[in-house]
Amino acid sequence: MLFAGLQKLTLLDYPQHTACTLFTQGCNLRCPFCHNSSLLDACCAPENPILAEDVLTFLYKRRGTLDGVCITGGEPLMHDELREFILHVRNMGFLVKLDTNGCYPDKLRHLIDEGLLDMVAMDIKNAPARYAMTVGMPQFDISPIRESVALLKENKISYEFRTTVADELHRDEDMEQIAAWLQGDSKYFLQSYLESDAVLHKGLHTPSREKLKRFLAILQPLVPHAAIRGE
């Protein structure tokens, strides 16, 4: 398995743990606000590929220093080799956190049922009715997303949902629909889109703090553990 990037230390990506972050190449979505647009094309080899064997060598040297490994993308579950890689990582004693867009519920369930994951962070791109627009795919079928949400809400594993809020893409009524969808004890974070030249489509803007707080007030009656990332 090839990786597109390695961040050797993060204190943010895995809550309450020291970790490294691995980036996989390829994603099935085309979200206009994506900051990892260079990782979207699954047909392209990473510009500076990192071999799984080299990652494992790095991790072997970091035993006792790092607690875990965060695997993000792109979309990691696109890669059939991921399971075997995670097995090696777990056998070395590391925790594993997976970031996913929720499009591959069967693969996610298998990894959870095998005990290969310790935490999952899943993106909630928008309210169901506006999902296709938000992920940049007009014919998008949201059924797998719903299945992944239901799977995580079974509480077999530590998890969080999160939405990257762009000013032009998210409205009060979207938060009302998301609250109805996720209602319960799920951890759910709003995080600000940050304006950047590296995103897939320019022209989106960072929401105001007041807008995020208004969204939070809409969410919390049904999703009491909703919060704004960084507060």
What would the pLDDT profile of 33-76 be if each residue is shown by its tens digit?
A: 887 666 656 555 556 789 999 999 999 999 999 999 999 988 99
Q: How far is CA 179 from the centre of its chain?
A: 19
Asked whether the predicted pLDDT for residue 114 surpasses 80, the reply is: yes
Residue 19: the pLDDT is: 97
Identity of the amino acid at 69: V
Phi then psi for 182, rounded to 5 degrees? -95, 5
pLDDT (mean) for 183-194: 95
**Of 28-32, 34-38, 78-82, which has the strongest mean pLDDT?**
78-82
H-helix or E-strand spanning residue 215 = helix 209-219
Say if residues 48 and 14 touch (Cβ distance below 8 Å). no
What is the dotted CATH code of the domain comprising 2-228? 3.20.20.70
Domain spans of the chain, in order of start: 2-228
Distance (Å, whole) CA 212 – CA 194: 13
pLDDT (mean) for 98-122: 98
Tell me the residue length of the chain: 231
How sure is the predictor about 218, in pLDDT bands with cuts at 50, 70 and 90?
A: very high
Q: By percentage, how much of the chain surpasses pLDDT 70?
A: 95
**CA dihedral for 166, 167, 168, 169, sign (positive or negative):** positive
Look up the pTM and report it. Answer: 0.93
pLDDT digits (tens, 9 = 90+) for 136-188: 999 999 999 999 999 999 999 999 999 999 999 999 999 999 999 999 999 99
Contacts of 16 (CB under 8 A, 6+ apart): none
How sure is the predictor about 196, in pLDDT bands with cuts at 50, 70 and 90?
A: confident
